Amino acid sequence: MKPPLIEQLRTYLQLAALSAILIQAVVFIAILVLQVPQAVFTSAPFRVGAAVAVALSVYAMRGLARDAFRDALASRHARLVGWQRRTVALGPECPRRLLVLLHVRLNRHTFDPALP
């Protein structure tokens, strides 16, 4: 596998893992505070629901990152450079810098921190 593809897959896995952590936190609070029986969280419908929640949260984060990237391009905080226009130059003052970097990693663009 090529390094950009590995980076993209790793990013998707990180987003899914963060979503699963949030689901686990909600389950933990539900068991402790709301006294929900543990058997509810081992059922097949819960597992399907958790998988759907992870997929939807990854999709939502991808959309937020895409919108941040488009806004950064429109406000000139970011620009595409290079002959293939696959390298992203991102200014340090970009208000949604982390989301723009997430978009870069999800779409196999390269990021050059040396460019202004």
- Residue 116: what pLDDT? 55
As a whole number, the mean pLDDT across the chain is: 88
Taking the model in full, what pTM does it have? 0.81
CA–CA separation, 77 and 3 (whole Å): 26
pLDDT tens digit string along 31-42? 999 998 888 888
CA–CA separation, 49 and 16 (whole Å): 14
Q: Which of 94 and 12 is assigned the larger pLDDT?
A: 12
CA–CA separation, 86 and 80 (whole Å): 6
What residues have CB less than 8 Å from 46, skipping those under 6 apart? 40
CA–CA separation, 22 and 28 (whole Å): 10
Residue 21 pLDDT > 90, yes or no? yes
